[in-house]
């Protein structure tokens, strides 16, 4: 797609034809609703269509063709279309290294919100191209964060080839035009396990993960150091501190209404949040934003841990996900993920007590992170406890809605953290 998408011409492929197709796509967000589409832009077979869905308007990127049988076909499965997309990414000003000519391509199955295409290239390298299905005005943090890390020479993310930006009409904006990321290309790393699977296997076998967790903490510290150099930082002033803690209080109040188990600890959790607001905060910077063991790949040494998916919390608006934040949010997310390894194994048909394994892994992870950043996390204990509590409160609500039998996993963390904070 070119930098500007011209208005759509009238053709055989109508919005009405597209409505029946888009309703059955995995990435269609208003599941069960009847799409009401309006094409806002079109170029080279790619349509940008606005869906006036009952759940709210959503802009989709829908590269499609109309087959001889009249059926709508997804152009991401068309190698020629993929080859042209790669060429447009190479030509974009943000791109770092050429993809080259695509010699073969296949769509990665199972993805829910975007479409990823695995490409073989004439250089012999494999590239994964992510086509964003839901479009927003503004930078996608998954793109800008990994571009910054890759441009800085970091091996802690897949090497970035480039990204494609586009513009489209938007009557809701002052100048009538929106701009954002359409696609993103990076190194494909086949056959690697994620850290969640590695941790589950080690914990079940009783194999210590302390060394691996230490290296993971050091790797996250390296990512945070690089981002602090490559992208802007800012002091955590009173306004930002207050806004962050107020958001925690709102989530806590909502959780107490939905999950009675949280209500018993309201006052204790509020006290943790109050102490965190008065504590010393590090400078704010770009972070991962939704970090857990499933977002990290175990590459062979000497490369080691590789981090994925820097899009941030999916429920937060895109503009907020690009704002500088507290690095301890990432640390807290990983601590909760180690806890969940033990919790998941305790729920197995053949349960395993991995509580001591999780404790050791958490401690080693913090040791590696402290060594990598040169900071003493004990100085930020109140703040780290608050971020971990905030995450655990969210998990209580999630488990209440989806897996009631698992509520005890995050609830135990809530109880542990408020007890420790009071000591």
Query: How many structural domains are present in the chain?
Result: 2
Round to whole Å and give the CA distance between 247 and 249: 5
Q: Which pTM does this prediction carry?
A: 0.92
Is the per-residue pLDDT at 2 higher than 70? no
Structural domain harbouring 324: 195-422
Residue 6 lies in a domain: no
Among 169, 187, 205, where does a domain finish? 187
Round to whole Å and give the CA distance between 222 and 160: 18
| CB burial string 278-288: b at 16+ within 10 A, e below | ebebbebbbbb
Give 238-257 pLDDT, tens digit per residue: 999 999 999 999 999 999 99
Residue 373 lies in a domain: yes
Same domain, 199 and 181: no
Which one, of 122, 407, 353, 393, lies nearest residue 252 by Cα? 393
Cis peptide before 302 (omega within 30 of 0): yes
Round to whole Å and give the CA distance between 296 and 106: 23
- pLDDT of the residue at 6: 40
Same domain, 237 and 341: yes
Angle between the 408-422 and 328-346 helix axes, to the nearest 10 degrees?
130
Residue 4 lies in a domain: no
SS3 40: strand
Among 166, 187, 208, where does a domain finish? 187
- pLDDT of the residue at 44: 66
Residue 8 lies in a domain: no
Is the per-residue pLDDT at 7 higher than 70? no
Whether the CB-CB separation of 162 and 185 falls below 8 Å is answered with yes
Round to whole Å and give the CA distance between 1 and 256: 47
Among 123, 153, 187, where does a domain finish? 187
In which residue are the tokens 């709210």 written? 56
How far is Cα of residue 319 from the mean position of the Cα atoms in its chain? 14
- Count of residues in the chain: 423
Residue 422 burial (C-beta neighbours within 10 Å; 0-12, 13-18, 19+): exposed
Same domain, 220 and 175: no
- pLDDT of the residue at 5: 43
pLDDT band for 1, please (50, 70, 90 cuts): very low
Give 205-224 pLDDT, tens digit per residue: 999 999 999 999 999 999 99
Q: What percent of the chain has pLDDT over 70?
A: 97
Whether the CB-CB separation of 36 and 51 falls below 8 Å is answered with yes
pLDDT band for 3, please (50, 70, 90 cuts): very low
Same domain, 241 and 156: no
**What is the pLDDT of the chain when averaged over all its residues?**
93
Instruction: Find residue 297's DSSP bridge partners.
Output: 194, 306
Residue 169 lies in a domain: yes
Same domain, 216 and 357: yes
Token digits of residue 77: 């499965």
Give 42-71 pLDDT, tens digit per residue: 986 689 999 998 888 999 999 998 888 888
Which one, of 339, 353, 315, 357, lies nearest residue 410 by Cα? 339
> What are the DSSP calls for 227-288, one per residue?
HHHHS--B---HHHHHHHHHHHHHHHHHHHHH-HHHHTTHHHHHHHHHHHHHS--PPBB---
Give 334-352 pLDDT, tens digit per residue: 999 999 999 999 999 999 9
Residue 2 lies in a domain: no
CATH number at residue 271: 3.90.1200.10
Q: What is the gyration radius of the CA atoms in the chain, in angstroms?
A: 23
What DSSP designation does 234 have?
A: B
Round to whole Å and give the CA distance between 215 and 156: 12
- pLDDT of the residue at 102: 98
Worst-scoring range by mean pLDDT, 11-15, 146-150, 272-276?
A: 11-15
pLDDT band for 9, please (50, 70, 90 cuts): very low
- pLDDT of the residue at 405: 93
Round to whole Å and give the CA distance between 183 and 132: 6
Residue 371 lies in a domain: yes
Same domain, 208 and 67: no
Q: How are the residues of the chain apportioned to helix, strand and coil, as percentages rounded to the nearest 5?
A: 45, 20, 35
Same domain, 242 and 153: no
Same domain, 166 and 228: no
Which one, of 239, 250, 290, lies nearest residue 273 by Cα? 250
Same domain, 381 and 296: yes
Token digits of residue 252: 């806590």
Same domain, 42 and 156: yes
Round to whole Å and give the CA distance between 126 and 86: 12
Give 68-127 pLDDT, tens digit per residue: 888 899 999 999 999 999 999 999 998 999 999 999 999 998 888 899 999 999 999 999
For 88-142, give the secondary structure using H, E and C: HHHHCCCCCCCCCCEEEEEECCCCCCEEEEEEEECCCCEEEEEEECEECCECCHH
Same domain, 23 and 131: yes
Round to whole Å and give the CA distance between 26 and 294: 21
Instruction: Find residue 49's DSSP bridge partners.
Output: 39, 60
Is the per-residue pLDDT at 10 higher than 70? no
CA atoms within 13 A on the CB side of 175: 6
Same domain, 392 and 251: yes
Q: What percent of the chain has pLDDT over 90?
A: 85
SS3 147: helix
**Ranges of H-type helices in 152-209:** 195-205
Residue 153 burial (C-beta neighbours within 10 Å; 0-12, 13-18, 19+): exposed
Residue 7 lies in a domain: no
Is the per-residue pLDDT at 284 higher than 60? yes
Whether the CB-CB separation of 202 and 211 falls below 8 Å is answered with no
- pLDDT of the residue at 94: 86
């Amino acid at each position: 797609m070119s930098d500007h998408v011209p208005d759509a011409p009238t053709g055989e492929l109508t919005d009405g034809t597209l409505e029946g197709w888009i309703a059955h796509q995995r990435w269609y967000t208003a599941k069960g609703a009847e799409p009401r589409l309006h094409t806002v832009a079109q170029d080279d077979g790619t349509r940008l269509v606005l869906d006036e869905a009952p759940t709210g308007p959503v802009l989709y990127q829908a590269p499609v063709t109309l087959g001889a049988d009249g059926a709508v076909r997804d152009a991401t499965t068309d190698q020629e279309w993929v080859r042209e997309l790669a060429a447009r990414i190479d030509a974009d000003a943000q791109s770092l290294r050429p993809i080259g000519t695509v010699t073969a391509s296949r769509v990665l199955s199972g993805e829910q919100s975007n479409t990823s295409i695995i490409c073989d290239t004439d250089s012999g390298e494999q590239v994964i191209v992510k086509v964003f299905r839901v479009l927003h005005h503004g930078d996608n943090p998954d793109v800008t964060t990994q571009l910054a890390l890759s441009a800085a020479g970091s091996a802690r993310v897949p090497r970035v080839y480039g990204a494609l930006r586009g513009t489209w009409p938007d009557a809701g904006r002052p100048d009538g035009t929106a701009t954002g990321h359409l696609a993103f290309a990076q190194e494909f790393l086949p056959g690697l396990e994620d850290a969640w699977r590695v941790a589950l296997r080690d914990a079940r076998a009783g194999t210590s993960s302390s060394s691996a967790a230490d290296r993971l903490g050091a790797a996250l510290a390296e990512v945070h150091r690089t981002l602090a150099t490559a992208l802007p930082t800012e002091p955590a002033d009173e306004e930002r501190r207050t806004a962050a803690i107020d958001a925690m209080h709102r989530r806590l109040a909502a959780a107490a209404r939905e999950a009675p188990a949280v209500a018993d600890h309201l006052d204790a959790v509020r006290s943790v949040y109050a102490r965190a607001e008065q504590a010393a905060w590090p400078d704010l910077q770009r972070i991962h934003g939704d970090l857990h063991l499933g977002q990290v790949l175990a590459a062979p040494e000497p490369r080691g841990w590789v981090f994925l998916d820097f899009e941030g919390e999916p429920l937060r608006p895109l503009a907020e996900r690009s704002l500088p934040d507290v690095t301890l949010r990432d640390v807290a997310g990983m601590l909760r993920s180690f806890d969940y390894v033990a919790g998941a194994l305790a729920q197995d048909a053949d349960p395993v007590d991995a509580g001591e394994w999780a404790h050791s892994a958490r401690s080693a992870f913090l040791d590696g992170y402290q060594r990598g950043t040169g900071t003493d996390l004990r100085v930020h204990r109140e703040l780290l406890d608050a971020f971990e509590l905030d995450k655990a409160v969210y998990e209580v609500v999630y488990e209440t809605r989806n897996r009631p039998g698992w509520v005890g996993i995050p609830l135990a963390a809530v109880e542990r953290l408020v007890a420790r904070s009071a000591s």
